[in-house]
Structure formats: structure tokens, C-alpha cells
């Protein structure tokens, strides 16, 4: 028990961290190139924020949140997603009073009490972006193209972009009725969650993951036949913008976000390569969300991208990762004077930007050399009394198995090459 991590959580061990650093740096670069600024918000928020910002009728709020009372009797919830906290921070800092739009990106852990399986964890990590302050489809196109560029740059080919419009509360009222009419004769056959959704949130039935409901949903009316003029024009603008940017997409009316705050654009990047949890990135427009959380009527658009699913997909499809960085040198010493010189030399070399280390296990010389070899150090810098006297160390190239004498003064430059 004590040596098992809680169910649904995963350590990211040093063996994997270079992959995480790689995708994190790539994401950051892509966002900075697009003029987004990083934002970090707390791991926990007032529970009410997510009830409002994610929606009372969602699976997240109904059954997935980690909620507890703190010692001051406040209801607190661990962040299940990234958008609501970012909206809260935007409102609290009155960023809306500055020149718009506001463009944020983030990299955060999220917490959802779900059934753990491949690509579904209780603690997972998301990249996300948001653009606040404009309802122009240019913003939607930028958000989608940022995700597309990021994913392509990682060498991922097996992803499909699926887009849809979920309309607005006006056009959805009629659509929801049409959906209820369609599902009503099949109500008894739906899964329990969907029986519940039928009244509260019938659009959610469309993205149910149970095979039976999914099959049935394929024949359901399409929201695209119910869009009002404004939403219909916006969807045309979106498609034109994506065409102009050269991004390929598939129009898929089953991509839905069941909440009233979500409007117009909905999109997902999906794959068949990693099993049932195939949505790597999901996003869309939420013109009524900010108003729901604060009292500012400000539109927004963004996405969340699951980092574990991204890495799963990259591993599964053989995408390449950079080699983990190796250490430049291990300083190997023989005798007390050499050891003292080694302590000084290690700091000196590090101050010049080199990655070097001493053996802190107090092994004998042979042991130190073996250690350097095993751990993949590029060079061994060998120092004993003779080397101290001559002012030159023995430098052993562990990759090419060659050796030469190098003066201490020239060492940093030599290793740097
Ligand atoms: P799903 O339909 O797979 O449950 P979702 O609609 O709940 O996804 P979002 O809330 O849109 O997902 O989150 C954005 C992204 O975060 C998802 O596309 C996915 O890549 C990732 N994600 C969501 N939940 C989990 C989880 N429990 N474990 C790992 N990744 C997740
Ligand atoms: Mg989910």
C-alpha cells in the first residue's frame, strides 16, 4: 500500500522525462510563435467555479470531481480542466480592460475520478490555449492551426481533425426537441447515463461511448440542419478559414459539447491508434461561458490536449524523440589531494556550462571508471598525484576508448567541443 501510487495516477520517472520535456518545449514554442502568453493557475479552486464553468449536467461535475472541505469549511475542488480557472484569473485580474484579444496558454495537471484505463487517468496533464475577446472565426482558425502545427511538428500523422458547429442556445432549442423525438422510442435501451441525459442534456447522448448508444446516435438528426443564420454563416467562415490555411478536416455532426455555454465551433483531433480513448485534443468556442462565471459578456475559444494520450500516440506510431542528454564528464580521483582538486574542478567546469560530476560513493579508481562507463559519461577526467604535479589530467574518451593528457587550463574548452 505505502509503495503503491493511488489508483489512476502515474509517476513520471526520469527515464521518461525527456519525452515530456520535449513535447512541453515544442508546445511552448508553438504558442509563443502564435503570440500566446503562459498562465498558471492554482491546482484547486472554489467548487462553485467548476459547477458554473463546466456545468451541473456534465459527467465531470456530476461524478468526476475531487471535492473536499478545507479546514475553513470551504468547498474546494482539484482542477478537473483548465478553462474555468483561466477565465476566473482573466476576470479577477481585469485583463479584459486591456487591449484585446487576450491569448493564454497553459500546461497543467487535471484531476477526474474516472475508471482508469489506457489513456484515462485520475491525475492527467493537459496543454491548453484560450483566446478571449473576439467572436471572429479567425480566432477559431488560429487555435485549430496552432494545434495542427504542433501535432505535425511532432511527426504525428495518424490524427484526423473533425469539426462541427453546436450552434447557439437559440438554434439548439429546436434541435434538442428533435433529438428527444428521435431517441424517445429507444429510451429504454439507452445506458443509464443517457437515460438521465435525455431530459437534461440530450446532445450528450450523441457522444456516448457505449457501443449501443453510439450506433443509435449515428442515425440521429444533425445539428447542422438546425443552425440559425448567424451560426450557419460562422460555420462557413470557419471552413473557409481552414481551407485558406491548408488544414484538412472532416465535418462530423457527432462532435458535440453538451453545454449551453458552448457555441458554434466544436472540434477534435482523433486517432484510432490508441484504443477507445482516441480524442487527443478537443476544443471549441464558448461565447457564453465568461458571462456565466463573471458578469462580462466576452466571447472565447480554445482547446485542451491530453499529454498522456499524445505520448501514447507518439510511442504507438513510432514518432521520434530526441536522445536524452548525457553528462560531459565524470571526475575520477585517486588520493586526498586529488579529491580536493576534483571538488574544485567540478564546480569550475559547471560554471563554464559543462555537465560534470564526481563519484559520491567513494569507490576506488576502477569502480569509478566502471561507473562512468555504465552511466554513459562522455569523458572520464582522471586525477592523481602525478596529474596534480604536472598540471595535466588524463582525459579518457569513453565513447572512442582513446586517452590523452590535457592541461587543467584547457580542459573546459576541450570538453566543450
Ligand atoms: P473523453 O471524451 O475522452 O472523456 P473529454 O471530453 O472528457 O474526453 P476534455 O474535457 O475535452 O475531454 O479534455 C481535453 C483532453 O484531455 C481530452 O481530449 C483528452 O486528451 C484529455 N483527457 C480527458 N480526460 C482524461 C483522463 N481522464 N485521462 C487522460 N486524459 C484525459
Ligand atoms: Mg471525459
8 A C-beta contact, residue 81 and residue 304: yes
**What confidence score (pLDDT) does residue 82 get?**
97
β 123-132/102-111 pair status: antiparallel
Query: Which atom of ligand 1 is the closest one to the Cα of 268?
Result: 18
- Residue 260 CB–ligand 1 contact under 6 Å: no
Ligand nearest to the CA of 303: 1
Q: How far apart are CA 111 and CA 50, in angstroms?
A: 12
8 A C-beta contact, residue 72 and residue 44: no
Question: Nearest 5°: CA angle at 394, between 393 and 396?
Answer: 135
- Residue 283 CB–ligand 1 contact under 6 Å: no
- Residue 81 CB–ligand 1 contact under 6 Å: yes
**What confidence score (pLDDT) does residue 228 get?**
97
Nearest CA, atom 29, ligand 1 = 120
Distances (CA, A) of 309 to 23, 268, 380, 406: 12, 13, 40, 48
Query: Which atom of ligand 1 is the closest one to the Cα of 114?
Result: 27
Strands of the 300-306 sheet, one edge to the other: 37-38, 102-111, 123-132, 300-306, 279-285, 263-270, 160-165, 250-251
- Residue 280 CB–ligand 1 contact under 6 Å: yes
Ligand nearest to the CA of 286: 1
Q: How far apart are CA 357 and CA 329, in angstroms?
A: 7
Q: How far apart are CA 181 and CA 134, in angstroms?
A: 35
8 A C-beta contact, residue 252 and residue 166: no
Q: For residue 6, how far is its CA from the centre of ligand 1 (angstroms)?
A: 19
In the chain, % of residues over pLDDT 70? 100
**What confidence score (pLDDT) does residue 233 get?**
98
**What confidence score (pLDDT) does residue 213 get?**
92
Low-confidence ranges of the chain (pLDDT < 50): none
- Residue 308 CB–ligand 1 contact under 6 Å: yes
- Residue 282 CB–ligand 1 contact under 6 Å: yes
- What would the pLDDT profile of 345-400 be if each residue is shown by its tens digit? 999 999 999 999 999 999 999 999 999 999 999 999 999 999 999 999 999 999 99
**What confidence score (pLDDT) does residue 209 get?**
83
**What confidence score (pLDDT) does residue 280 get?**
97
Distances (CA, A) of 242 to 82, 229, 249, 358, 381: 25, 20, 8, 55, 56
Q: For residue 331, how far is its CA from the centre of ligand 1 (angstroms)?
A: 47
Q: To test ligand 1's pocket by mutation, which of 256, 309, 310, 312 has the most ligand atoms within 8 angstroms of CB?
A: 309
- What would the pLDDT profile of 203-251 be if each residue is shown by its tens digit? 989 988 889 999 999 999 999 999 999 999 999 999 999 999 999 999 9
Q: How far apart are CA 181 and CA 35, in angstroms?
A: 46
8 A C-beta contact, residue 262 and residue 272: no
Amino acid at each position: 500500500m505505502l509503495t503503491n501510487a493511488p489508483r489512476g495516477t502515474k509517476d513520471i520517472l526520469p527515464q521518461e522525462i525527456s519525452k515530456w520535456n520535449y513535447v512541453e518545449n515544442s508546445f511552448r514554442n508553438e504558442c509563443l510563435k502564435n503570440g500566446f502568453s503562459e498562465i498558471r493557475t492554482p491546482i484547486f479552486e472554489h467548487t462553485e467555479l467548476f459547477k458554473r464553468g463546466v456545468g451541473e449536467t456534465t459527467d465531470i461535475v456530476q461524478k468526476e470531481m475531487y471535492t473536499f472541505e478545507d479546514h475553513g469549511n470551504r468547498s474546494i475542488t482539484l482542477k478537473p480542466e483548465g478553462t474555468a480557472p483561466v477565465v476566473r484569473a482573466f476576470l479577477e485580474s481585469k485583463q479584459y480592460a486591456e487591449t484585446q484579444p487576450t491569448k493564454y496558454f497553459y500546461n497543467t495537471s487535471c484531476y477526474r475520478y474516472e475508471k482508469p484505463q489506457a489513456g484515462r487517468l485520475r491525475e492527467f496533464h493537459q496543454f491548453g490555449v484560450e483566446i478571449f475577446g473576439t467572436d471572429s472565426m479567425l480566432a477559431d482558425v488560429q487555435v485549430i492551426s496552432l494545434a495542427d502545427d504542433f501535432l505535425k511538428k511532432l511527426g504525428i500523422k495518424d490524427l484526423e481533425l473533425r469539426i462541427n458547429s453546436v450552434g447557439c442556445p437559440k438554434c439548439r432549442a429546436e434541435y434538442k426537441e428533435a433529438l428527444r423525438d428521435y431517441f424517445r422510442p429507444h429510451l429504454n435501451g439507452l445506458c443509464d447515463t443517457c437515460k438521465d441525459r435525455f431530459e437534461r442534456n440530450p446532445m450528450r447522448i450523441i457522444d456516448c461511448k457505449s457501443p449501443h448508444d453510439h450506433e443509435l446516435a449515428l442515425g440521429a438528426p444533425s445539428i447542422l440542419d438546425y443552425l440559425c443564420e448567424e451560426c450557419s454563416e460562422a460555420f462557413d467562415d470557419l471552413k473557409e478559414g481552414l481551407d485558406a490555411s491548408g488544414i484538412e478536416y472532416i465535418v462530423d455532426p457527432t462532435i458535440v459539447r453538451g453545454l449551453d455555454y458552448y457555441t458554434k465551433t466544436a472540434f477534435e483531433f482523433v486517432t484510432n491508434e490508441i484504443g477507445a480513448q482516441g480524442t487527443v485534443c478537443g476544443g471549441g468556442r464558448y461565447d457564453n461561458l465568461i458571462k456565466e462565471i463573471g458578469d462580462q459578456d466576452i466571447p472565447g475559444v480554445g482547446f485542451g490536449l491530453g499529454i498522456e494520450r499524445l505520448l501514447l500516440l507518439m510511442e504507438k506510431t513510432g514518432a521520434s524523440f530526441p536522445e536524452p542528454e548525457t553528462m560531459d564528464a565524470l571526475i575520477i580521483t585517486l588520493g586526498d589531494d586529488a579529491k580536493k582538486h576534483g571538488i574544485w574542478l567540478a564546480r569550475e567546469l559547471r560554471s563554464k556550462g559543462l555537465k560534470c560530476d564526481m563519484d559520491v560513493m567513494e569507490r576506488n579508481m576502477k569502480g569509478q571508471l566502471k561507473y562512468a562507463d555504465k552511466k554513459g559519461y562522455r569523458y572520464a577526467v582522471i586525477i592523481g598525484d602525478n596529474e596534480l604535479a604536472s598540471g595535466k589530467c588524463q582525459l579518457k574518451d569513453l565513447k572512442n576508448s582513446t586517452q590523452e593528457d590535457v592541461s587543467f587550463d584547457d580542459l573546459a574548452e576541450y570538453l566543450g567541443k
